[in-house]
Amino acid sequence: MSGLFLTFEGPEGAGKSTQVGLLKGWLEANGHAVLSTREPGGTELGRGIRQLVLHQAAMSPEAEYLLYSADRAEHARAVIQPGLREGKVVLCDRWLDSSLAYQGYGRGLSLEWLRQVARGAIADLWPACTFLFDLPPEVGLARFEGRDRLEREPLAFHQRVRQGYLELAQAEPERFVVLDATQPLEALQAAVRTKLASLLSQPGMG
């Protein structure tokens, strides 16, 4: 595949979706073909799954994760891989790290089991770079009123999720770029563009 796969992670209210939109506009203005997508919800199947996992009254953590994995499997094969084959820069708002943080650290499911399931679901599709927008959960949750199942979880849940993200980033420093999401929007976008410029300058990209 000749494209570039980038993922954007972070807790609720970190502003990653805004950053994805800004980056897409900048890349397109500089002549790059861009595919912007999100999970869950990047496919027709995913939109139905999104409604289930974010608005269903209750479900087990295992069922929740398997629904996310079904979305991820369809997303990888129907959207992301075709985009990469076409040479596009693929910007994905959340990917597997979200499940490791939310269902693993947050819900307490085994990280080993989560990764075993993921190996089949994502078809060995790993991002070249993951931007983690780190933010204290009390700050992020204060930015809006909780709307879905995950956003309405207690503060302790979101604290575990944040800690999970930071541990994942510490374990893979070559892939993660950790950004302080309390910084101004413009400063965060400048940091993202600087990192991306170095990736695009590598042989085979640009």
Whether 17 has a binding-site annotation, put simply, is: yes
Is 169 annotated among the ligand-binding residues? no
10 is in an annotated binding site: yes
206 marked as binding residue: no
Handedness of CA 67, 38, 168, 101 (dihedral sign): negative
Q: Tell me the CA end-to-end span of the chain in Å, nearest whole number.
A: 14
**Ligand-binding site membership of 14 (annotated):** yes
Task: Show the tokens assigned to 185.
Answer: 């929007």
The answer to whether 15 is a known ligand-binding residue is: yes
Q: Return the exposure string of 101-134: e unless at least 16 CB atoms fall within 10 Å of the residue's CB, then b.
A: bbbbbbbebeeeebeebbeebbeebebbbbbbbb
140 is in an annotated binding site: no
Nearest to 92 by CA among 140, 42, 31: 42
Distances (CA, A) of 49 to 66, 69, 76: 10, 10, 15
Tell me whether residue 61 is annotated as binding: no
How far apart are alpha carbons 120 and 203 in whole angstroms?
A: 30
| Residue ranges at the known binding site | 10-17
| Residue ranges at the known binding site for ATP | 10-17
